Amino acid sequence: MIVRSRAPLRIGLAGGGTDVSPYADDYGGSILNATINLFAHATIEPLDNGKIELRAFDMDEYESFDAEEFLEVNGKLALLKGVYNRVVKDFAKKPLSFRLSTTVDAPPGSGLGSSSTLVVAILGAFVEWLNIPLGEYDIAHLAYEIERQDLGLAGGRQDQYAATFGGFNFMEFYADEKVIVNPLRIKRKYVAELEHNLVLFYTGTSRESAQIIEKQRQNIKQHNDQAIEATHALKKQSILMKEAILTGRMDSIGEILHYGWEWKKQMASGISNSEIDDLYTLAMENGATGGKISGAGGGGFFFFYCPGTSKHKVLAALKKRDIYKQHYLFTQQGLYSYTLNS
């Protein structure tokens, strides 16, 4: 038997950061994101030798253990161990023997939600294997708890829900970890135009999002007026973006992105730096009308809205800086798991 699972990575189009506590708890947050055809993959192969084998192929990490109810989380393969520990605690109630292999189509710290998406993919494989009766909201919330509470990793709430549900979603975040996912019915021609004009680049550097997010959290907790005002503006941006995409006002998307980027930089230090500012200016000078870092900031993937044929000039300018575009398409499907019987 082989159990496979995959979950899509996401682009955060607007509202990023408003899903992070305590802002979401105190004021309510909203985000518009969309999943793309880059994935986190997980494969489980049941074993009968009383062993647990964990391997992350993209990280070149491997560990083997005797099957136990709890695996010590010591930094290495932490996400794999965290999901296993929670599945055994809540559902299996006994040690399991298996081989778990994972890989992600984007590097860690990419800003595409890779860590949370991997947790969803691993959890989805266990749900498939053990036939655990969990719905989409259940899986997303459990993935959130594993990452944020069990493993103590700082972050927001959008990634787990984007990976589980898939597609274009307008998400609302409230106190007590309440999340409402509103799938958007966007005309295919508008999606195609977004794919044509929204150009995704990898900056060549990853970043530690938890540090930036922790600064963000502290600014809200300490009632930093500038940070709160900036986060309010990003919540407004998510509504503006939703209306623009649903109604086909494509020419306004760049300026909405630019509006959000100017505010996002005021949420916490480390979101931008001189290199990112230079790349942003270069893209705007060559025809882009707006853009942003995907994720918390500091590095990873950057995207720009390039109307008409302006993307070709932007591509040429960034290529001279050894910054190349990432091919992608939007995908409507979220978490998908299946079993193959040998």
> How far, rounded to the nearest angstrom, does the alpha carbon of residue 47 sit from its chain's CA centroid?
32
> How far is 178 from 100, CA to CA, in rounded Å?
31
> How far is 174 from 19, CA to CA, in rounded Å?
8
Q: Is 159 a catalytic residue?
A: yes
For the CA atoms of 102, 35, 178, 136, the dihedral, rounded to the nearest 10 degrees, stands at: -60
**DSSP 3-state of 200:** strand
Strand-pair category, 29-46 with 51-56: unpaired
Which one of 26, 159, 176, 277 is the catalytic residue?
159
Distances (CA, A) of 156 to 113, 128, 161, 199, 203: 10, 26, 11, 25, 22
Which ranges of the chain does DSSP label H, i.e. alpha helix? 23-27, 78-87, 114-130, 136-145, 158-165, 188-197, 209-221, 225-247, 253-264, 274-285, 310-319
Q: If phi over 0 gives left and psi between -120 and 50 gives alpha, with beta otherwise, what is residue 152?
A: left
b (16+ CB within 10 A) / e for 267-299: bbebbbeeebeebbebbbebbbbbbbbbbbbbb
The answer to whether the beta carbons of residues 169 and 113 sit under 8 Å apart is no
Catalytic (active-site) positions: 159
